[in-house]
Amino acid sequence: MTGADVLLWCNPHNPTGRVWTRDELHAVATLALTHDVLVFSDDIHADFTRTERTSYTPLALVSPELWERELLIHCASPGKTFNTAGLESAAIFAPPALGQALEEAKRAAGLHNPNYFAIPATIAAWTDGDKWVDTLRQRIDANLALAVDLLHTLLPAAHITDPDGTYLVWVDAAAYLPHADTLTAAMDEARVAVSPGIDFGSEYGSYFRVNVALPPADLEDALERFCYCLNTHATSPITPTFSSSTEHPA
Ligand SMILES: Cc1ncc(COP(=O)(O)O)c(C=O)c1O
């Protein structure tokens, strides 16, 4: 971290879904304190953690010193959990001087007029949403298990990350992506969109990210269609074993 001004930190990590342990957070905080680096912690996927996996811990709890030395900005949002990104409301916890600077920057950028529903919807979600979130987490957990199992079956030569959190599955599909445009061709043919790994860095061209936040039957159908098309484009196609009676493109 030598020479860095800011560390952009994401907890849980996107796209791998890694929920950082207290030890890992402590190591990051120690580094930031040593090198006097401001940590911008984006925790907007924090509600999506899985039972019997690492539980989510905010960095400020592990290192109050980071907060006291004004080296931490913490970001929360109802956007992912309650599917309210369109309302454009979020919460940023910042030490006083930084908070003032952020407030001024927000006003200068004209981002200080939330729409009529944004604040009441955020308060309602964060005040009364507990039961809904509990059910949502169960549903996402089941969808992640379904997606990871199905991907192992349909793409046996891929490396699939089984996430601790988020609603995303990160897949290294190098064996199935012989050309740069193979992923796009498979998406077009299957009529299923995944996030291309290249969006996360030039070295991730062989990866893709799947969002599992949809009804299980649709998730299964989409994964089967997509993996079928990916297999047909691979240099050495691997015959997938389909687990449902869904029809696939010829
Ligand atoms: C980790 C993370 N941070 C921030 C954002 C941006 O969220 P929004 O579009 O609600 O501002 C996203 C959106 O995908 C995200 O995944």
Look over the chain and give the mean of its residue pLDDT values, rounded to a whole number: 92
Say whether both 136 and 85 belong to one domain: no
Q: Whose CA is nearest to atom 16 of ligand 1?
A: 14
Q: Whose CA is nearest to atom 14 of ligand 1?
A: 80
Is the pLDDT at 247 greater than 60? The verdict is: no
Say whether both 145 and 64 belong to one domain: no
Q: Is the Cβ atom of 47 under 6 angstroms away from ligand 1?
A: no
- Is the preceding peptide bond at 240 cis, omega within 30 degrees of 0? no
Say whether both 102 and 208 belong to one domain: no
Say whether both 12 and 102 belong to one domain: yes
pLDDT digits over 49-91, tens only? 999 899 999 999 999 999 999 999 999 999 999 999 999 999 9
Distance CA 61, CA 22 (A): 9
Say whether both 92 and 160 belong to one domain: no
Q: How far is C-alpha 26 from the geometric centre of its chain's CA atoms? A: 22
What pLDDT score was predicted for residue 250?
A: 44
Say whether both 11 and 117 belong to one domain: yes
pTM score of the predicted model: 0.90
Last residue of a domain, one of 73, 98, 128: 128
Q: How far is C-alpha 1 from the geometric centre of its chain's CA atoms? A: 24
Distance CA 118, CA 210 (A): 28
Q: Tell me the CATH number at 187.
A: 3.90.1150.10
- 227 close to 149: Cβ distance less than 8 angstroms: no
What pLDDT score was predicted for residue 154?
A: 97
| Highest mean pLDDT: which range of 53-67, 105-119, 221-235 | 53-67
Say whether both 27 and 106 belong to one domain: yes
Enclosing domain of residue 147: 131-233
Q: Is the Cβ atom of 1 under 6 angstroms away from ligand 1?
A: no
Say whether both 106 and 145 belong to one domain: no
> DSSP assignment, residue 82?
T
Cβ density class 59-78: b for 16+ within 10 Å, e for less:
bbebbeebbeeebbbbbbbb
Q: Tell me the CATH number at 99.
A: 3.40.640.10
Decide if 248 is inside a domain. Answer: no
Say whether both 86 and 136 belong to one domain: no
- Given the CA of residue 77, which atom of ligand 1 is nearest to it? 10
3-state secondary structure of 182: helix
**Distance from Cα 146 to the centre of ligand 1, integer Å:** 24
